[in-house]
């Protein structure tokens, strides 16, 4: 196997951080990097010692969970807490930053935002990033992190196709297809 790129390495770190998230709605991870060195990381979760969405459910107001501190903010706050400069650093985030995180990223002097997935990319956030000279780049994680990933996806797809041919109910197939999409985060494919 070839050596992975720096972008893939840092995005994999953010993906790993996202697995620590305590929010049930969306798991996000962020890694701040300067000179190819990780200086901070964060995930979306409740304040230290606070109630977690996993335990109490999400606290949603106007379509947003207000219980959590976003991953980008947690990473930036970690830098502030320990006196680590963020000027000219880069941030790797599993999802495109929200408008509030965008403003914090700009104010922190981050020069580039790498993200693995588009997520409600707010037009004003995009405008602010451009205005501040903050570059953004989509970095999709490659499948070679799980050498069996493609094989698993192909087998699952084949099984769904066979279930349809065997006359499985549309209700059950729909349920399986939703699970398939959730697991593999793909666009719906015809089976």
72 catalytic? Reply is: yes
**From 24, 51, 56, 72, active-site residue:** 72
> Could you write out the DSSP letters of every residue in the chain?
-PPPPHHHHHHHHHHHHHTT---SS---EEEEEETTEEEEEEE-BPPTTS--HHHH---EETTEESSPBPHHHHHHHHHHHHT---TT-EEEEEEPPPHHHHHHHHHTT--EEEEEE--S--HHHHHHHHHHT-EEEE-PPPGGGSTTHHHHHHHHHHHHHHHHHTT--HHHHHHHHHHHHHHH-------
Active centre residues (catalytic): 72
């Amino acid at each position: 196997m070839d050596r992975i790129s720096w972008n893939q390495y840092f995005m994999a770190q953010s993906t790993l951080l996202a697995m620590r998230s305590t929010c049930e709605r969306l798991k996000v991870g962020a890694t701040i990097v300067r000179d190819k060195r990780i200086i901070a990381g964060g995930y979306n979760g409740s304040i230290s010692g606070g109630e977690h969405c996993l335990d109490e459910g999400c606290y949603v107001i106007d379509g947003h969970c207000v219980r959590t501190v976003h991953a980008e903010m947690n990473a930036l706050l970690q830098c502030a807490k320990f006196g680590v400069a963020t000027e000219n650093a880069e941030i790797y985030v599993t999802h495109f930053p929200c408008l509030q995180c965008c403003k914090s990223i700009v104010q922190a002097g981050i020069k580039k935002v790498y993200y693995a997935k588009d997520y409600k990319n707010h037009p004003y956030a995009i405008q602010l990033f451009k205005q501040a000279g903050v570059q953004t780049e989509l970095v999709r994680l490659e499948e070679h992190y799980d050498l069996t990933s493609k094989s698993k996806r192909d087998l699952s797809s084949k099984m769904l196709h066979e279930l349809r041919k065997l006359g499985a109910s549309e209700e059950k197939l729909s349920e399986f297809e939703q699970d398939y999409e959730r697991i593999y985060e793909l666009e719906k494919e015809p089976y």
